[in-house]
Amino acid sequence: MSNLIAWIIRAIPFGTIIMYGAMGEILTEKSGNLNLGVPGIMYLGGFAGFASAFYYENNAASPNGAICILLSLVCCVAASMLGGLIYSFLTISLRANQNVTGLALTTFGMGIANFFGVFILNGKSYTAAPLANSAYARKIPFLSGLGAVGQTVFGYGFLVYAAIVLAVVLHIFLNSTRVGLNLRAVGENPATADAAGISVTKYKYLATCIGAGISGIGGMYYVLDYNSGIWATTGQIEALGWLAVALVIFTTWRPLNAIWGAYLFGVLYWLYQFLPSLMGFTVASYVTDLIQMVPYVVTIAVLIVSSLHKKKENQPPAHLGLAYFREER
């Protein structure tokens, strides 16, 4: 029982990281932009959030948790949106190839984060921002103490709950508002949207930049909460970023699916550690790596199933990955 609880407590925060990444990417892809720079953007967001919290903590006379949260969130979103802006300018204004630009952005974001991280690390192998961590990881008082339910449902930092709220908001935005309808039209058939008087460029820019901002929060959540506020030079965020891209496909571009999909991915990711002890057997170390592949295998299975069904609603936006220009007009 305690193993199962530990598993869930591990899986939900893990899911939250990729949920942010995936929700941002869903918004981006709904505008027809396939941004493969999600890992890079999560690096940018994670590093900007950590660095701002770190400097605030170490330089302010009496650092305050709330201000720390606010500051790091703003820096994280701003840095991520900057990444999104670079991508938008290249692919929308200059009509560069989206795949190439996205991959370049991944390399770029990772490089920038690790490069500036060196100055913060200052020779150490890792540094920490304990105040920010305690602020982000603060559990809901009282409720989190209510036994197993309290632990598994109320025992997380506020960003876990914010992610769920955001998914619902995104769902309503995409399906029941005028702007959401327009955005979907841009991703499906920009020529039609253009003819209907919708500014394709504006929608693409906004969706991509705001989407990047959301994705970036996932990176920050990883550093300041999931990873206990510790910054180190690793490739971990990149792996999470790709998992977020896989999750977008898994959800068939629906934000609500991202909620349970992300948690499922979390459960599957931690399968290797908790399943054997739950079942009471041990596995060889090389098998762990195999088990960690399960989320990707599930994504491939979803791709196969949705391709076989050919249901139009489960397909990516029709104009995904293609640049739009009016031709001769």
Partner 1 sequence: MECAIQMKHVTKTFGSVTANKDVSMDIYKGEILALLGENGSGKTTLLNMIAGIYYPDEGEVLVNGKQVEIRSPKDAYDLRIGMIHQHFKLVDVFTATENIALGLDSKEKFDLKQIRKKAEKICEKYHFEMDFDRKVYAMSVSQKQTLEIIKALYRGADILILDEPTAVLTPQETERLFKVIRNMKADGKSVVIITHKLHEVLAISDRVSILRKGEYVGSVKTSEADENLLTEMMVGKKVELNIERPVPENPVKRLEVRNLSVVSEEGVSVLSDISFDVYGGEILGIAGVSGNGQKELLEAIAGLQPVVEGGSIKYYNAADGSEPPMEVVGKNPKIIRSAGIHMSFVPEDRLGMGLVGSMGMTGNMMLKSYDRGRGFLTDRKKPQDLAESIMKELGVVTPGVNTPVSRLSGGNVQKVLVGREISESPIVLMTAYAVRGLDINTSYTIYDLLNRQKKKGVAVIYVGEDLDVLLELCDRILVLCGGRVNGILDGRSTTKEEVGLLMTKLQPDKVREKAQGEAKEEAQGETKEAQREEKETKKETREQEGGGKVE
Tell me if 198 contacts partner 1 by CB under 8 A.
yes
Tell me if 327 contacts partner 1 by CB under 8 A.
no
What's the CA gap between 271 and 288, in Å, rounded?
Answer: 9
The three-class DSSP label of residue 205 is helix
User: Which residue lies nearer to partner 1 by CB, 184 or 215?
Assistant: 184
Minimum CB separation of residue 269 from partner 1 in Å reads 32
Cβ partners under 8 Å of residue 285, min gap 6 = none
Tell me if 178 contacts partner 1 by CB under 8 A.
yes
Q: Which of 141, 147, 197, 280 binds partner 1 (CB under 8 A)?
A: 197
Minimum CB separation of residue 40 from partner 1 in Å reads 30
Minimum CB separation of residue 95 from partner 1 in Å reads 17
Q: Read out DSSP for 47-116?
A: HHHHHHHHHHHHHSSS--HHHHHHHHHHHHHHHHHHHHHHHHIIIIIS---HHHHHHHHHHHHHHHHHHH
Per the CB < 8 A criterion, the answer to whether 126 and 232 are in contact is: yes
Tell me if 328 contacts partner 1 by CB under 8 A.
yes
Query: Which 154-173 positions form the footprint of partner 1 (CB under 8 A)?
Result: none
What's the CA gap between 267 and 99, in Å, rounded?
Answer: 30
Tell me if 318 contacts partner 1 by CB under 8 A.
yes
Minimum CB separation of residue 178 from partner 1 in Å reads 4
User: Which residue lies nearer to partner 1 by CB, 200 or 258?
Assistant: 200
Tell me if 182 contacts partner 1 by CB under 8 A.
yes
Q: Which of 143, 169, 196, 301 binds partner 1 (CB under 8 A)?
A: 196
| Residue whose tokens read 């009509």 | 95
What's the CA gap between 273 and 266, in Å, rounded?
Answer: 12
Binding site for partner 1 (CB under 8 A): 177-178, 181-182, 184-185, 188-189, 191-193, 195-198, 312-313, 315, 318, 328-329
